[in-house]
Chain A
């Protein structure tokens, strides 16, 4: 919501998220299979993964700050909030659940984030267009964006059953 009002920020955010997700799935795989699993500490996965994700996000934040101060300011609070993006943890946990191997987890993480990015960018492009639209006052801003998101999800229902295996 916060970053999707402009395409530029959305693209920046997409890159950040892609980076985080791919790196997080990679790291979590390593941590899980080389540290936790041998030690029989699987019950700690969620906690450890959160730790991993937090670190990766922090790292990303620094990188973004260094490389593009402008983007850093535009993303603002939303950059650290990638941590709480369920998708990141979800991907890490799904990797574990589906018993992906090293490369599979990286690709899985990357793929998920690319999908996320696509939707985010499309959404932002639509919102940019909506910014000029004559939306009724009560629905201005976030409200209409939510409705748009709903309609988008309707559209994505079309893919239901697309992957049967």
Chain B
């Protein structure tokens, strides 16, 4: 047996099975030169014109683009860029009908040409031989070249195959009966095509290059023979005319006798096939730096006065081309994109020409009868004549496929190798029963694909469902365990009989009260009823447990707040009432009116009454807690119930205010800590009021339905609590606060405020203030990074300053003011504030840092304060950044905490006392961090 090459030289080719001989209509266009189409008024450029994904648009509406300018970029190998076919303005990006059998719409870019056709700057590269393979591939990819024979497979993917290539086959067969685009291209531009072939030769280095061309194109054959005469390994293979010899698989079989195995690319056989037009485009792209912006389109059909080939810009509407060629048919119009065998009908004539469009066919009624005409014949039953099986180039059994397709027997269809059908249409062409076989296959293929997708989806859903079930199971177990532990712990403490136990009892009572409140509220929808019930219940508990008023208040407020959160239709009044109740109840000795933020007095003037203040703080705490509560799932409610108890326990054990904190993840505990702090420092009734206001603001924020605002504002108050706290600890003098506030009233920006206050502060504080300013900036940044819309929040803060009469905003302002106070009076404090702020905002997890530092600072000497402040600031910055980057990862928190602990004690001037304390703090911090990590792990999956 001869080798492939010998056979080809002799002109002996293989044959593929089947095939048909539809009537030739190439004479309509094959003798006329390629005309140059004018630039239409509008170009519609689909973003995706090939098989694969669309690129990303990089121009905007209104942009002026030059001819050849890149309009979209490819971000993966299967996507290709598109280019401006002419210079003009991008007038729209919208969904338009694209050239697809479905007539569906996809994103298209509308370009209004300016008529000047100005090129972008091009770089001619005459010596492609010196280019590396990669450069050429890049050039091909950047020119947006996709297979121009019809399928539109990205060329650079096809060419960048790693397989060893024996044959490069240039497909010039063009077997569709009407199309002459390649024929004409060869006749007129064979040198360029040859360049393209040479470039491919350079890239692929195949042993042989075969140009397959049907024998009905004598001129083209002649021309090709002439240009390739002196090249040894290029063979012109003139093959007999038969449809569909231009099919990739068929042409390979004809030329090499090999069959491409099902589901495998030809490159595995060492064969790469390229269309002639693609070669032309490659040459253009590599040598003259011209992207694929125009192509030869055969505009043919007997309904046209002057059918011809035209150079059409990509994006030219079909109607424009047919009009130029004298489309006269006024009866039922039928436009086909592609050939008569494999092309598809167009739903209108505003469909653009794309990279794969090789033909526009406007047939007359005689050529292709429309379904409305009387001469058209209808589909009848299959008589199993087998003509289709004889014609099928893939040796399928079309009639059996058709039966199975009608019966939707998908397994059988796959058994009959439906997916090896190339949809050439030969079977339907020969069918005496006029059955649109190909259409049946297409539907069946689409259905099978859909079914496969569904199967995959079902499988995924199943996995997810199983995973969820597992998770729920795990959570249930974890919860049960937690309950059990907590119950045991409580029991143990109850039995201890210490004063702490008492307080625990009260906590239990509070929990009870809350539960009751919950029940009550679930029974009724009326706000007032609930309020009263809650009050009653709370009062009861107050009476029962005298020493834990605050907690009762907690419970009530929480219950209420929760309800509010649930209903999400909170009225301002109801909140106010709620707060009133919360405030009034524990504090029989009033001062409530001042606390009620309705009168927006910033200056805290109330006398230092411990109980009063406490109660207010408690109210704030309650609010905060309520919020936290509302955020949690029901599953965590029970866990929440334990929190006060745990907090108390810690407090009892370690006899320091800061240590009492942060057993838990929830912000309410932080507030609790602050409560404790405030208790220990009996001056801060003012702060308490502020806290109350904060709470109110928060509640209001909650009432706001809009999500962004809700989030931001809701978080802010929580953040502020430690601020107050620290402020309290540092013992800010009222005298100093007042000017600060007045300052802050005038200056909207926090930074500016700090700088202004600088002047008034002494030299040391000035320094610190600067540090604080830096930190504040950092905070702002991290805020911006975070999803909580910091900008909005700031804007709101500004607004707060301007509009004091607004209740809600006054609340905000309260929260703002202590911050400024501290920053002006004491840098350290402001740092803390900021740190806290940043931390809590990013994390929502209370950190022990404030307490830790706070403690240190308390014991500090003024001279060392400066330095410490800097350190703290640095730490805060680092932390803020880190936290901004990470999510609520507990490990991060832990490491930060540890980091801090490492840093702060070492740099501190070492008095024994301090060292000790620092160590304690460190240990506590560590322990806490660990706990945090554990608990957040638990709570995370439920988020």
Contacts and interface: CB of A to CB of B under 8 A. Distances in A.
A161 to B, nearest CB: 33
A131 interface: yes
Contacts, number: 7
Chief secondary structure at chain A's binding surface: loop
Nearest to B407: A132
A131 B409 CA distance: 10
B14 to A, nearest CB: 35
Contact count band on A: under 10
Interface in A114-151: 131-132, 134
Nearest to A128: B412
Contacts of B404: 132
B399 to A, nearest CB: 11
A131 B381 CA distance: 16
Interface string B389-428: 0000000000000011011010000000000000000000
Contacts of B406: 132
Nearest to A134: B381
A134 B406 CA distance: 11
A132 B402 CA distance: 10
Contacts of B403: 132
A132 B381 CA distance: 12
A134 B409 CA distance: 15
B22 to A, nearest CB: 30
Interface residues of B, number: 6
A131 B406 CA distance: 11
A87 B406 CA distance: 38
A77 to B, nearest CB: 25
A134 B403 CA distance: 11
A82 B409 CA distance: 30
Contacts of A131: 407
Contacts of B407: 131-132
B646 to A, nearest CB: 58
Contacts of B409: 132
Contacts of B381: 134
B61 to A, nearest CB: 54
A131 B408 CA distance: 11
Interface string A38-75: 00000000000000000000000000000000000000
Nearest to A129: B403
Nearest to B402: A132
A144 to B, nearest CB: 15
Nearest to B406: A132
A35 to B, nearest CB: 50
Contacts of A134: 381
Nearest to B381: A134
A134 B381 CA distance: 10
Nearest to B404: A132
A11 to B, nearest CB: 16
A132 B440 CA distance: 15
A41 to B, nearest CB: 54
Contacts of A132: 403-404, 406-407, 409
B909 to A, nearest CB: 82
Nearest to B384: A129
Interface in A84-100: none
Nearest to A133: B403
A34 to B, nearest CB: 50
B79 to A, nearest CB: 42
B810 to A, nearest CB: 76
Interface string B350-386: 0000000000000000000000000000000100000
A134 B380 CA distance: 13
A131 B400 CA distance: 13
Nearest to A131: B407
Interface in B300-346: none
A131 B407 CA distance: 8
Nearest to B405: A132
A101 B110 CA distance: 92
A3 B407 CA distance: 20
B563 to A, nearest CB: 57
A113 B204 CA distance: 63
B651 to A, nearest CB: 67
B662 to A, nearest CB: 61
A131 B403 CA distance: 10
B384 to A, nearest CB: 10
A117 B406 CA distance: 30
A98 B681 CA distance: 119
A140 to B, nearest CB: 13
A132 B382 CA distance: 12
A48 to B, nearest CB: 46
A74 to B, nearest CB: 15
B398 to A, nearest CB: 14
B273 to A, nearest CB: 38
A30 B151 CA distance: 72
7 closest A-B pairs by CB? A132-B407, A132-B403, A132-B406, A131-B407, A132-B404, A132-B409, A134-B381
7 contacts: A131-B407, A132-B403, A132-B404, A132-B406, A132-B407, A132-B409, A134-B381
Interface of B: 381, 403-404, 406-407, 409
